[in-house]
A and B are shown apart, each in its own frame.
Chain A
Amino acid sequence: MKELLFLERSKLADLIAANYNLILMLPRFGISLGFGDKSVREICENHNVPTDFFLFICSIYSSHSFIPSREMITTMDMRFLLPYLLSSHRYYKEERLPHIEKNLHVIIGQSDEKYSETILHFFNEYKEEMKEHFLHEEEHVFPHLQALQEGFADNSYRIGNFALSHSNIEDKLNDLIQIIFKYFPGNVYPNQSIELVFDLLRFSYDLDKHKFIEEKVLVPYVEHLERRLS
Chain B
Amino acid sequence: MSERVKVLIVEPSLILVEGLRKTLNQTENFNPLSSISDIQHLREHVSMVRPNIVILNPTLFPQVVKNFSFILENSSITWFALQYQYVESRILRLFHGVVDIREHPAHILQKLVEIHETTQQIAPLTDNYELSDRETDVLICLSQGCSSKEIADQLNISVHTVNSHRKNITRKTGIKSVAGLAVYATLNNLLER
Contact surface of A with B, Cβ cutoff 8 Å:
114-115, 118-119, 122, 125, 168, 171-172, 174-176, 178-179, 182-184
Contact = CB atoms under 8 A, between A and B. Distances in A.
B144 to A, nearest CB: 13
B89 interface: no
Tell me the dominant secondary structure on chain B's binding face: helix
A119 B183 CA distance: 6
A114 B176 CA distance: 22
Contacts, number: 46
Nearest to B179: A122
Nearest to A176: B180
Interface in B166-193: 173-177, 179-180, 182-184, 186-188
Given A122-B179, A122-B180, A178 B173 contact: yes
30 contacts: A114-B186, A115-B186, A115-B187, A118-B183, A118-B187, A119-B183, A122-B179, A122-B182, A168-B177, A171-B176, A171-B177, A171-B180, A172-B179, A172-B180, A174-B174, A174-B176, A175-B174, A175-B175, A175-B176, A175-B177, A175-B179, A176-B180, A178-B180, A179-B180, A179-B183, A179-B187, A182-B174, A183-B183, A183-B187, A183-B188
Contacts of B182: 118, 122
Interface residues of B, number: 13
Contacts of B176: 171, 174-175
A81 B65 CA distance: 50
A184 B187 contact: yes
A179 B175 contact: yes
A119 B177 CA distance: 14
Contact of A118 (B173, B175, B186): B186
Contacts of A168: 177
Contacts of A178: 173-175, 180
Contacts of A182: 173-174
Looking at A175, A179, A184, the one whose CB has the most chain B CB atoms below 10 A away is A175
Contacts of B173: 178, 182
Q: Which 8 pairs across A and B sit closest by C-beta, in order of nearness?
A: A175-B180, A171-B176, A178-B174, A118-B186, A175-B175, A183-B187, A171-B177, A122-B183
A114 B185 CA distance: 12
A133 to B, nearest CB: 15
Contacts of B174: 174-175, 178, 182
A46 to B, nearest CB: 44
B95 to A, nearest CB: 29
A115 B179 CA distance: 14
B183 to A, nearest CB: 5
A84 to B, nearest CB: 29
A183 B184 contact: yes
Given A168-B177, A171-B177, A172-B179, 18 more contacts: A115-B186, A115-B187, A118-B182, A118-B186, A118-B187, A119-B183, A122-B182, A122-B183, A125-B179, A174-B176, A175-B175, A175-B177, A175-B183, A176-B180, A179-B180, A182-B173, A182-B174, A183-B187
